[in-house]
Amino acid sequence: MATFDPNNPGRALSPGAALPPAAGGLPPSPEFLLADVTEATSEVGDELPPGAGPYELAWRRLKRNRVALAFGGLFILIVVMCLLAPLYSQYVAHIGPDTQNITGTVKVGGKVENIVSLIGIPIGPTWELGHYFLGADATGRDVSVRLLYGGRNSLEIGAVATLITTLLAMICGLLAGYFRGLTDGIISRTLDIIWAYPVLLLGITLSTVLEVRGLGPFHGTTLLSTALVVGFVYVPYVAKPIRAQVLALRDREFVDAARQQGLGPLRIMAGEILPNVASTIVVFVPLILANAILSEAALTYLGAGVQPPSPSWGTMISDGISTIPASFSNVLVPGIMLVLAVLSVNVFGDGLRDALDPRAKIRLGKE
Amino acid sequence: MARFVVRRLLVMAALLFAISLVTFLLFIVVLPNGNPAALLAGRLANPAQVHATEVRYGFDKPVWVQYIRTMANIFNGTAYSYQSSFNVLDEIRAGFPATLSLALGAGIIWLLSSIVVGTLAAVKAGRYTDRVLTVLSMIGVSMPVFFLGAVLIYFVGYKLALIPISGYVPLTQSPTQWLWHLAAPWFTLSVLFVGVYSRILRSTILDTMGEDFVRTAKAKGLSERQVLLRHILRNSLVPIISLWGLDLAQVIGGGAILTESVYNIHGIGYLAFSSVRTFDTVTLLSIVMLTALAVVLLGALTEIVYAFLDPRIRLV
């Protein structure tokens, strides 16, 4: 299937919001970045001591990008908040994420109100810490506590899925690109087959298979099995560019030199080729993370991901949607949180890509 | 050129075969633990009844015979779903107009919008307009489709009562209603793609602007607009169009699941989704396979068109 020239921007993408790397191909390997330093870009090159490496240059560029840093900080803030969920639950809200409380009452601003009114409408955000800060859902659970716990689950699934995708794609790309021939043929065709399925359908299918039958240690719909499904589905997207780059690097002189030194294929792949592909992989990580979080939410909304009552942003949104007229804040709150998290990852990833891409020189000239 | 086409078509055929095989194995063999007859015969079936079911559906035959029979059934249109006893092809055909209207309409909208947005952002690169458009694209890309749909349904449909909340009205029944009911789903589905495509187009245009032939065109004395329309866009649009074709294939084949389920449109995506939850393997198998076929077919076609336009590709 789509064996496009890697320098051609027209690469097949999934409809799942996958932002491609910078047009014109991947951020090339760091040797090209070195050319940048000698061409005296007045913005960043001046303060650097001679002999500064390409990553130093990229880091400086990144530090100048205030917006990207701000959003990166926002993401870290969200992560920290979610990690502190147990503390919040215990000391601030005094209620767990699964504690239902349909018939209870709560004191809001002096008045005593039903948590879930007599016709089933749960209380909206009270904006009072300690009493259903962001309101309650249809069964009386505290939305803010569930939001933080759900964030833990969603972010964890996203992180594990990203890890799985990155590792698998790295291995596949390296093996296919280095050994070529039959290995390359098998791996590439397998990736093409996986990529031919619509992302969401494949995710639902695999997730159902795992739920019904299991595969080794992955049974049912645990967080790990969801992460595995989400991670697996995006492997072709990352592996193909890596493979393309490895193919190009393989014929370079330094690989030849390493081979003549007597290094075995494993050491060459790990020691010579991998560091050069690293910048490509680094650029992909935020992209895949954003996509993984969104995919987990989509899978869960369709019922194939995390199962209730386990909280996750996806389950919260889907619960909220089923009770839309009653209390829309139940949809709005987890949704906005999800959008903020994914947005911050995306913006930071964009900034990262701009920092690593020497062709940013052209774009800087326009600003 | 002919050799390239033949090679591509052979690879495509092999890929299609592999996809059908993999899907079949995944569903028929792996999913029900290898014995779907037990599931079908019901919970209180004794072994004789299970065996009768096996014979009736052909499960006792070897796997490859089952495969051939299922494929023949699917392509002849005689495949019946295990769960609901409906003809699978009929069901798909029933859901097809809805999904087609949704996907094609949204596709045209998002293509035109992203061309406009991308070009605008590229022409005004670095200035206020560009930044605003970039921010909007970023938000559009970060928003889950069902969340956007829910927000639209609530604020515009429920509170302001400007659009109908759900359902699909066939074109033949009433064109105005058809448009009315599809407006919000089209918008929801497009937002995501506009975000992606406009950024790609913007980068492509910016990169093309630095090329030699653009400099030559300007030196010849062409105005900015002429250079833009005649030279830059013609080059930059090519990747977008190919991407559009592939994405459209995926959306038609069931990638619009989220939009269809939020807006309660009974199209193919909806069908696929409900067949997963009820473990209706035959329907899901057909849909997944047909979609994968469409994607591979379109991919091969796109590559052939590319090879026709750009001779360098033929060497790959």
| Interface contact flag, A339 B139, Cβ < 8 Å | yes
Residue B165 lies in a domain: yes
CB-closest option in B138, B151, B193 to A343: B138
Beta-carbon separation of B147 and A346 below 8 A: no
Is there a single domain that holds both residue B128 and residue B41?
Answer: no
* Shared domain check, B216 and B110: yes
* Domain boundaries of chain A, sorted by first residue: 76-82+147-356
The pLDDT > 70 percentage for chain B reads 72
Alpha carbon of A39: minimum distance to chain B alpha carbons (Å)? 17
Interacting residues of A132 by C-beta distance below 8 A, sequence separation 6+: A93, A106, A108, A115, A123, A125, A126, A142, A143, A144
Pinpoint the alpha helices (H) of A117-222.
143-179, 181-196, 199-212
Q: What is the DSSP secondary-structure string of B193-225?
A: HHHHHHHHHHHHHHHHHTSHHHHHHHHHT--HH
Split into its structural domains, chain B has a count of: 2
**Is B36 in the same domain as B105?**
no
Chain B interface, mutation test: which of A200, A213, A218, A293, most B Cβ atoms within 10 Å? Answer: A200
Nearest to B31 among A213, A303, A321 (CB): A213
pLDDT score for A16:
31
pLDDT of B68: 75
Q: What percent of chain B has pLDDT over 90?
A: 1
Residue B262 lies in a domain: yes
Residue B36 and residue B53 in one domain: yes
Residue B205: pLDDT above 70? yes
Alpha carbon distance A177, A166 (integer Å): 16
Interface test with B, best of A66, A201, A243, A287 (most B CBs within 10 A): A201
Nearest CB neighbour to A205, from listed B151, B284, B303: B284
Exposed/middle/buried for A327, CB within 10 Å: 0-12, 13-18, 19+? buried
CATH classification code of A76-82+147-356: 1.10.3720.10
More confident of the two residues B85 and A28: B85
Give residue B315's pLDDT band: very low, low, confident or very high (50, 70, 90).
Answer: low
Residue A178's beta-bridge partner residues? none
**ipTM for the complex shown:** 0.80
B156 and B202 inside one domain: yes
What amino acid is encoded at A298 in this protein? A
For residue A112, list its beta bridge partners: A107
Question: Does B71 fall in a domain?
Answer: yes
Please check whether residue B272 lies inside any domain of the structure. Answer: no
Q: Which of B146, B156, B189, B244 to mutate to test the interface with A (most CBs of A within 10 A)?
A: B146
| Residue B79 belongs to a domain | yes
* B14 lies in some domain: yes
B60 and B152 fall within a common domain: no
Would B307 be classed as within a structural domain?
A: yes
Are A200 and B255 a contacting pair, CB within 8 Å?
yes
The closest CB to that of A335, out of B147, B279, B306, belongs to B147
**pLDDT, position A324:** 74
| Minimal CA separation from B197 to chain A, in Å | 9
* Residue B260 and residue B301 in one domain: no
What is the structure's pLDDT at A235? 92
Judgement on whether residues B113 and B166 belong to the same structural domain of the protein: yes
Query: Is B274 part of any domain?
Result: no
- CA A189/CA A143 separation, integer angstroms: 46
Instruction: Write the DSSP string, B249-302.
Output: HHIIIIITHHHHHHHT--SHHHHHHHHHHTT-HHHHHHHHHHHHHHHHHHHHHH
CATH at B98: 1.10.3720.10
Same domain, B67 and B205: no
Distance from CA of B230 to the nearest CA of A (A): 20
Nearest C-alpha neighbor of B252 from the set B263, B275, B268: B268
Region of residue A108 (phi > 0: left; psi between -120 and 50: alpha; otherwise: beta): beta
Residues of chain B contacting A192 with CB distance shorter than 8 Å: 15
| Minimum-distance CB partner of A3 among B195, B276, B316 | B316
- Does residue B224 share a domain with residue B93? yes
Mean pLDDT to the nearest integer, B76-100: 72
* Residue ranges making up the domain that contains B288: 1-83+279-316
pLDDT means per 10 residues in chain A (367 residues)?
35 34 33 37 55 76 84 92 83 70 66 66 69 74 84 91 93 88 87 83 79 63 82 90 86 86 84 83 88 90 78 86 77 90 90 72 33
